[in-house]
Amino acid sequence: MKKLTMVTGLLTATALTAALAGCSAGSGDAGDAKTIRVAYQTTATFNQMQTLMETAKSQYEAAHPGMTVELVPIQAEGADYYTKLALMNKSASTAPDVQYEDTFKIQSDAAAGYLLPLDDYLAKWSDWSQFADGAKQAGLGPDGKTYGVSLGTDTRGLWYNKEIFAKAGISVPWQPKTWADVLSAAKKVKAADPDVIPMNVYSGKTAGEAASMQGLEMLLYGTEDTLYDTSSKKWVVGSQGFKDSLTFVSDVYQGGLGPSLQQALDPNIFTSVTADWLPKGKLAIALDGSWQSAAWVDGGTAPWPAWSDTLGIAAMPTQNGQAPGTTSMSGGWTLAIGKNTKNADAAWDFLSTAVNKDNATSYDINNSQIAVRADVAQSTEYLDANPSFKTFSSFVATTHFRPATEDYDKISNQIQVAMEAVMTGQSSVDDAAAAYDQAVIGIVGEDNTQQG
């Protein structure tokens, strides 16, 4: 596995101010036709994008003499990254030419006029045939045009510590059949060692989209209900599945099976889970993503050679074990081109360089991504690189995707509000669900909702 380079530059508050003022940190004037500004995310446990962008910059500049790629890394977790990127996109003088774009933001950002349609470029790009249909769908905007090219996808499941389980008398390999089985294991861990956090489920506004997707949606899509009816194109309100999902969250936090509220609502909880709680045996079960091991491999941000021996992976069961038995959620990130770019052809050349087969292979391995290019997914280099790839890839068979609508972002925020209300005990499940229903109706209109 290739050694990951360390982050060489971070977009601090000062640098962000400079960028928004139209100043360039790289050579050449910001936003000119000879400079490609690329904005992307880095965090304490995520430097793989820095590595990819540095590699693509070197390759692109070598192939295009006279052109400069200005890298603009934004060090921020979750919602903070979206906010800072949105600030850059507010002005044509500071907007990036290429940006790292979460799939769930494509619809709203395309509608806001931040992104450039890529269909004309994709029609002439032979590599596009290698991309899975699901990955192509993830890049679609509200007008049916493509605005993002996928870097990889992901699935979610239950990471568990086999050593902690052994002390609690739980046999491994562990594959719970129902939600009750998951909570039962957490209770056994608590009884065996009260100093260990039995289970983490991201919840609340601080966790942002991780709360919505790794938390409530991983539960909801294992019930008989859903968030959005794709056939009627209406949002579901008043569903028992939503209430049951909130009840699970309440059981974890109000039942003393999760982190303390202070820990759970800490903006650095992602780093705590990845770099502290799991490696140091402080957390027994983590409802989390396929990408976690990227931090632990050789060259990762929190190397942990014993991770594959210490941790097991289980699929998230459906609520009562009903068919298909397990569930997952998938998302992923793309590279997109800014609508205000002054050199769209150059921006496309950089983007297509960054996602070519070799770069996609390295990135998917280094970031523990589920490959979306067939030529990468089928390669021995990829399949042999990480023992978790096969398991998490198998979850694709029962995975779900977030609703691809412009309103999802606002509704996701309301999911987080409802979760925080029950996790903190500030509201009953029924009241939190009712408040969520009213918020959804307020966002999309009653005609665009239906009863669960």
**Residue burial 362-394, b: 16+ Cβ < 10 Å; e: rest:** bbbbbbbbbbbbeebbebeebeebbebbebbbe
pTM of the full structure: 0.85
pLDDT tens, residue by residue, 354-363: 999 999 999 9
pLDDT at 78: 80
Specify the DSSP class assigned to residue 23: -
R_g of the chain computed on alpha carbons: 22
Mean pLDDT of the chain: 92
pLDDT at 228: 96
Domain boundaries of the chain, sorted by first residue: 35-154+331-397, 156-330+403-451
Please answer whether residues 175 and 181 qualify as being in contact, where contact means their C-beta atoms are separated by less than 8 angstroms: no
Closest of 401, 337, 334 to residue 372, by C-alpha: 334
pLDDT tens, residue by residue, 153-163: 999 999 999 99
H/E element, 283: strand 283-289
pLDDT at 55: 98
CATH pick for 156-330+403-451 out of 3.40.190.10, 2.60.40.10, 3.40.50.880, 3.40.800.10? 3.40.190.10
Selected residue with higher pLDDT from 397 and 15: 397
* Confidence tier at 8 by pLDDT (50, 70, 90): very low
- Tell me, yes or no, if the two domains 35-154+331-397 and 156-330+403-451 fold the same way: yes
Average pLDDT over residues 331-349: 96
pLDDT at 326: 98
pLDDT at 9: 32
pLDDT tens, residue by residue, 32-56: 789 999 999 999 889 999 999 999 9
CB atoms within 10 A of CB 262: 7
pLDDT tens, residue by residue, 63-109: 999 999 999 999 998 889 999 999 999 999 999 999 999 998 999 99
Residue 29 has pLDDT above 70, yes or no: no
Q: What is the C-alpha separation between 258 and 261, in angstroms, rounded?
A: 8
pLDDT at 10: 36
pLDDT tens, residue by residue, 290-309: 999 999 998 899 999 999 99
pLDDT tens, residue by residue, 383-397: 999 999 999 999 999
Q: Which CATH architecture has domain 35-154+331-397?
A: 3-Layer(aba) Sandwich (3.40)
Residue 218 Cα distances to 2, 312, 377, 389, angstroms = 32, 19, 25, 19
Average pLDDT over residues 366-371: 93
Tally the C-alpha atoms within 13 A of residue 96's C-alpha that lie toward its C-beta: 28
Residue 177 Cα distances to 5, 240, 315, angstroms = 41, 20, 9
Residue 28 has pLDDT above 70, yes or no: no
Average pLDDT over residues 414-435: 98
Q: Cα 65 to the chain's mean position, in Å?
A: 35
* Confidence tier at 6 by pLDDT (50, 70, 90): very low
| Maximal CA-CA distance, the chain | 65
Average pLDDT over residues 179-192: 98
pLDDT at 31: 56
* Confidence tier at 204 by pLDDT (50, 70, 90): very high
* Confidence tier at 404 by pLDDT (50, 70, 90): confident
Torsion angle, CA of 217/219/223/227, rounded to 10 degrees? -20
